[in-house]
Amino acid sequence: MSIVAESFRLTGLFEAELLVELLMRYWHHPLADDAGARSCLLENAVQSLQMALEGQVLIEGLQPENTNFVAAVWHGEWLSLEQAGSDETSETRSARRLWIDQVRHALPSCFCDPRLLD
């Protein structure tokens, strides 16, 4: 089974919710205390995984079948920022952008071809 298929299977488990919350809290996402925002980010990650399952490249250098859960969470937040309306303060948007930068910088192995890690 591919990485993306395994990651998609994880999304229905409590552990997926826990991992999203831990990612948000550890790297100080500005909406980490908002249960609705955490749920929304998980839903966005599920959509990102579905896109990858359909063969869409989400992140340059990462083939769809190698899309993992962390990369999907990152992509879900990135996509949400790209589509966000004006109901959010510029400070919050900046903090969310900082979060996606920090996660990608801190966990580079989640954003590359896993064969490069051997």
For 16-24, the CB contacts below 8 A with 24+ separation are: 16/42, 16/45, 16/69, 17/42, 19/69, 19/70, 19/73, 20/45, 20/73, 23/70, 23/73, 23/103, 24/99
Q: Tell me the H-state helices in 11-89.
A: 14-26, 35-53, 69-83
List, for residues 77-118, the tens digit of each pLDDT value.
999 998 876 678 889 999 999 999 999 999 999 999 888 877
Tokens of 27: 């790297």
- Where are the chain's structural domains? 3-114
Residue 68: which pLDDT band, with cuts at 50, 70 and 90? Answer: very high
| CA dist., res. 26 & res. 24, Å (int) | 6
Q: Residue range 38-51: average pLDDT?
A: 98
| CA dist., res. 36 & res. 67, Å (int) | 25
Question: Residue 62: its pLDDT value, please?
Answer: 96
Question: Residue 117: its pLDDT value, please?
Answer: 79
List, for residues 7-37, the tens digit of each pLDDT value.
999 999 999 999 999 999 999 999 999 999 9
Question: Residue 115: its pLDDT value, please?
Answer: 85
